[in-house]
Structure 1
Amino acid sequence: MSTSTGRRPRRPTSGPGSLLEVCVVEFNTRGYDATSMEDLSRAAGITKSSFYHHFASKEALLRAGLEVALDGLFEVLDAPGATTGTPAERLRYIVAAQVAVLQRELPYVTLLLRVRGNTETERWALERRRAFDGRVAALVREAVEAGELRAGLDPTLAARLLSGLVNSVAEWYRPGRPSGASVPEAVADAAFAGILPAR
């Protein structure tokens, strides 16, 4: 005998298919500024009053979504692969691991990439991104000084180019494709081995 009451199951607040993920997808589709609480409530299938039980405001949702992406990126910097080995080895690990975070948290990283600094939360996120890029630039500088990268390479420019390469994956990567598991290493190969044949 079924024990179902006929009520819709409560949507979890985090994780795949969660309330937060649904709202982040709405932000990405409509734009944060253009998305209303009514839009979010409708997409999540709950009332506005129920919504406020989980998140105090639309900006609180934005902060929670951006934290998922930023926490994932900073965890990369603290992983053993990013802290041991030569500077170039650590840098390659960070590039591949960044791509893996992007794949795993695609809606959240996409949201982070679209932040423009229009709110206090967005400015906080941009500052965190700059801190991440600064640590990568410092590692590029180490690799140049160790003779592992081309002499004369501007570390800040190189870090921005690597960031641009990684972030571009968000534009074309689609979850569920069989080749997905090979994407992080393929991107790292393109960054460090190049895409043109050796002469």
Structure 2
Amino acid sequence: MTVSVKSSAKRGRPGYDQEAVLVAAVDVFTRHGYEAASMGMLAEALGLSKSAIYHHVPSKVELLRLALDDALSALEAAADDAAERGSSPVDTLELLMRGTVKVLIEKQPEVRLLLRLRGNSEVENEAIARRRAVDRRTSEVIRDAQDSGALRTDVEARVLARLMFGMINSIVEWHRPGNRTADELADTVTSVLLEGVRA
């Protein structure tokens, strides 16, 4: 997980930095739910006092914002990369799918947290809006691929996008380190999904 820290100097108890606190927060939020999780639970998980945690972050909501931004920025970057490198709509779609699979594996805890949001706060709603923007971009790529004759047109692009993301997003719930590499899993996912929708 990559998190920008304003100062290179670590604050708080030695051995902990903002990144370590954020990793623990994602785990606590995912296990207990963001609303039910408390800074006390996080302090207990880290073996710190609550005041020590506040050396790294100002609030629980800031921890949530950082975690969600980490996942969303990676997903947006994958979409940008696919759009830049794709030689055709269907090639762009394949690159987007591969990039998304890799993000889900590399940032599995953060993406799992993102996918479980309920929209109970401004931060959550902003994250959901960003996620939906990526979904819309995917629908547009699928529509372009359909218009080019590469993909079947009997299923609406928006529906195909939801079906694709349904399969891809499920990875965060069952994938375990050591099962398959990101590239191997991306090969499987793109093969299954694209063969099922080619014209």
TM range (shorter): 0.7 to 0.9
Deviation per CA, 1:53-105, whole angstroms, max 9, x where unpaired?
211111111001000100010010121x4323110111011111101000000
User: Are residue 9 (structure 1) and residue 19 (structure 2) matched?
Assistant: no
Aligned-pair CA distance for 1:132: 0.7
Work out the CA distance in 1 between the residues paired with 2:105 and 2:58.
Answer: 29
Shift of residue 152 of structure 1?
3.2
Identity of aligned residues (%): 39
Local SS of the residue matching 1:25: helix
Aligned-partner Cα distance in 1 for 2:106–2:124: 22
Larger radius of gyration: 1
Partner in structure 2 of residue 149 of structure 1: 151
Q: Structure 1 counterpart of 2:190, which letter?
A: A
Give the superposition deviation at 1:47.
Answer: 1.2
Q: Which runs of 5+ in 1 are unaligned?
A: 1-7, 195-199
TM-superposed CA distance for 1:176, in Å, is 2.8
The runs of 4+ residues in structure 1 deviating greater than 2 Å are 81-84
User: Match for residue 125 of structure 1?
Assistant: 127
1:192 CA drift (Å):
0.7
The amino acid of 2:146's aligned partner reads: V
> Structure 1 length as normaliser, TM-score?
0.87
The RMSD of aligned alpha carbons is 1.5
2:100 is the counterpart of 1:95: no
The aligned length equals: 183
Q: Specify the alignment match of 1:20 in structure 2.
A: 22
What's the CA shift for 1:10?
A: 2.3
| Aligned mates of 1:85, 1:23 — CA distance in 2 | 40
Given residue 9 of structure 1, which amino acid in structure 2 is its aligned partner? P
Normalising by structure 2, we get a TM-score of 0.87
Separation in 2, partners of 1:101, 1:12: 23
